[in-house]
Amino acid sequence: MPDRYAAMETARYGRAWSREEIMLGFLGDVGELAKLVQGKEACGRATMEDLDRSLRGDGPQPE
């Protein structure tokens, strides 16, 4: 399976990602998911639009 990802990354980015880049991308994705979960748990303190802005980095962050 890793060879398939390496081939896709090479086609898209000109080279395969390093282990560090894969880990950082994964952590970024987990962080975005955590923001969505926190926003949903706020129950009314944040709207979906607020959550979208937060994920883009240009709005209030969920508490």
Pick the more confident residue, 7 or 40: 7
Specify whether the backbone of 3 is left (phi greater than 0), alpha (psi in -120 to 50) or beta. Answer: alpha
pTM, to two decimals: 0.56
pLDDT value for 37: 79
Helix axes 19-41, 48-56, angle to 10 degrees: 160
DSSP 43: T
Q: Give the three-class secondary structure for 13.
A: helix
pLDDT value for 13: 93
- pLDDT tens digit string along 44-61? 566 777 777 777 777 555
Q: Give the three-class secondary structure for 33.
A: helix
Domain ranges of the chain: 2-56
Euclidean distance between the first and final Cα of the chain, in Å?
38
CA 5 to chain centre: 18
pLDDT value for 58: 74
- pLDDT tens digit string along 8-45? 999 999 999 999 999 999 999 999 888 877 777 775 56
